[in-house]
Amino acid sequence: MAASTKVPAKPPTTHLGLVRRARRVDRELAETYPDARCELDFTSPLELLVATVLSAQTTDVRVNQVTPTLFRRFPDAAAYAGADRDELETILKPLGFFRAKSASLMGLGQALVERFDGEVPGRLEDLVTLPGVGRKTANVVLGNAFGVPGITVDTHVKRVSRRLGWTEETDPVKIETALGDLIERSEWTMMSHRLIFHGRRCCFARKPNCSGCPVAGLCPSAGTAG
């Protein structure tokens, strides 16, 4: 798709105008990134939960390199709860912070076994009670493993949504609320993927590619973000 003009768009003067612009941007990003998805490899809610916990302070690519071995060796919550710490640390060592991450997975497994019969709960209010699980991780699991719409406010969603003028908030929970007020609930999960794809492929943190951006004509930061 050809890039839009680089002249910064004027911010909408009404909330309705902002809603309309946000939904237009989301449609444009849907056309630009038809393959937008969760880039962590998983086959079950537990695998996605574990992979998401491990993705902190590392890349999805690196996590995906480690998880095949991890998932074979630890197929369920009970296996994590009773894991040999040295073995777990050896598997996770390529990710960095492997001692802390090993402790997190063992604690996660214990909590799942003790409070949820070893199953990953499908409600946000239950997920966030698990050690190492906040709203971001919970929404990833809900949206991609359970089909429950959720907004994942990671570093890309935070950056891109602010540049687009969708919110001025910096707190992740307030950003989640603001975005949820703009985009249809049924699109929350996919909208998150699209913003993440856009942040990783075009709207970079240090030097966004505004000249190649498909929504530059709808973005108040076009040509000025840095």
Encode pLDDT of 136-150 as tens digits. 999 999 999 999 999
Confirm whether 171 is a catalytic residue: no
Q: What average pLDDT score do residues 110-135 get?
A: 97
Catalytic residue among 136, 171, 181, 207: 136
User: How many Å apart are CA 165 and CA 18, to the nearest integer?
Assistant: 8
Among residues 84, 154, 171, 207, the one annotated as catalytic is: 154
Read off the pLDDT of residues 163-205 as tens digits, 9 standing for 90 and up: 999 999 999 999 999 999 999 999 999 999 999 999 999 999 9
Residue given tokens 């929970």 in the structure block: 173
The set of residues, in sequence order, having a beta carbon less than 8 Å from that of 139 and lying 6+ positions away, is: 124, 150, 151, 152, 153, 176, 189, 192
Contact (CB, 8 A) for 141 and 123: no
Tens-digit pLDDT profile for residues 39-79: 999 999 999 999 999 999 999 999 999 999 999 999 999 99
CA dist., res. 109 & res. 105, Å (int): 6
| 154 assigned to active site | yes
What CA dihedral angle connects 82, 84, 90 and 92, to 10 degrees? 20
